[in-house]
Amino acid sequence: MTKERLAYLSLGSNMGNKLYYIVSAIQRINITNGVKVSKISSFYETAPWGVTEQDSFYNIALEIKTTILPFELLRNLQRIEIELSRIRELRWGPRTIDIDIIFYDDLKIDIQELTVPHPRYIDRNFVLKPMYEIHPHNELLLKYMKRDNSEIKKINPEILVSSCLLGENCNYKGGNNKSSLLEKLENSVLYIKICPEVMGGLETPRVPAEIKNNRVINKENTDVTEEFNKGAYLALEKALANNCSLALMKGKSPSCGYGKIYSGDFTGKLVEGDGVTAKLLIKNKIDIIPI
């Protein structure tokens, strides 16, 4: 059996919806074969470093448990950067996402492709401060941390999230779809919880429903489109009232599903499409990550 090791990553974004890019990267890292996110730091907003004439960054640190070797980990992180539209044009310039390996266990690597520990981490408070939160036994982090915090501040971004993903028993079966990753993220953000189907007046548990011919029909052939629409608008109101730019939604469902939803014939088949609430959020420029 391959030995499990600890590695520490630094993530940053300063283009587009920064929160979307960072949380998307965290999710993609967590589902990479041989990798699991074990700790997540607070979010920090920081002034740009190196090239100062650009937007501020969001930064965060991760601890991961991994059975893959450093170069395979690097290739996977670079793949995720490409998937999230990272373009390398200007050194230290704007980017949708930047993922650096800061430490990999106690290994020391120094070749052109990869240097570990990261060669510039000691100069960067936006790496040191979030990293120290999740790796407090590393005395070097505290040694090099600058006391001037004028260019870095902790933030608590608000994210809309399907309540069932946080362990609330509100899915159609009366249970939940609790996500261990969202549980780890909970101390870093402020969750704004929604269950559009319950908000629209449907009971828990309830008869399962799917979208067919632009209507939401349950398995007893009852049209529940009105309840789904009502819940969607109430969810949107909650999102706008809390300035949410990102929603973490239960995948495949007729309300929260994004990209793929059940086909409408109750066979478990998936088709391209969005749930009622997801479609309304997208229309109002709220990005969605399906969980």
Which one from 86, 124, 274, 287 is the annotated catalytic residue? 86
Does residue 124 have an active-site annotation? Answer: no
DSSP string, 19-53: HHHHHHHHHHHHTSTTEEEEEE--EEEE--SSS-S
List Cα–Cα distances, 166 to 57, 162, 192, 242, in angstroms: 28, 7, 11, 18
Based on the residue annotation, tell me whether 98 is a catalytic residue of this protein. yes
Q: Of 5, 55, 95, 120, which residue is the catalytic one?
A: 95
Helix, strand or coil, per DSSP, at residue 195: coil
Quick one: how far is CA 79 from the chain centroid? 17
Cis? peptide before 205, omega within 30° of 0: yes
Residue tagged active-site, from 28, 100, 274, 287: 100
H or E element at residue 12 = strand 5-13
Residue 46 and residue 56 in contact, taking contact as beta carbons nearer than 8 Å: yes
By CB atoms closer than 10 A (0-12, 13-18, 19+), residue 154 is middle
In degrees and rounded to multiples of 5, residue 113 shows phi and psi of -75, -35
Element (H, E) at 59: strand 57-66
- For residue 150, the number of C-alpha atoms closer than 13 Å in the C-beta half-sphere is 1
Residue 120 annotated as catalytic = no
Find the catalytic residue in 5, 55, 91, 98: 98
Catalytic residue set: 86, 95, 98, 100
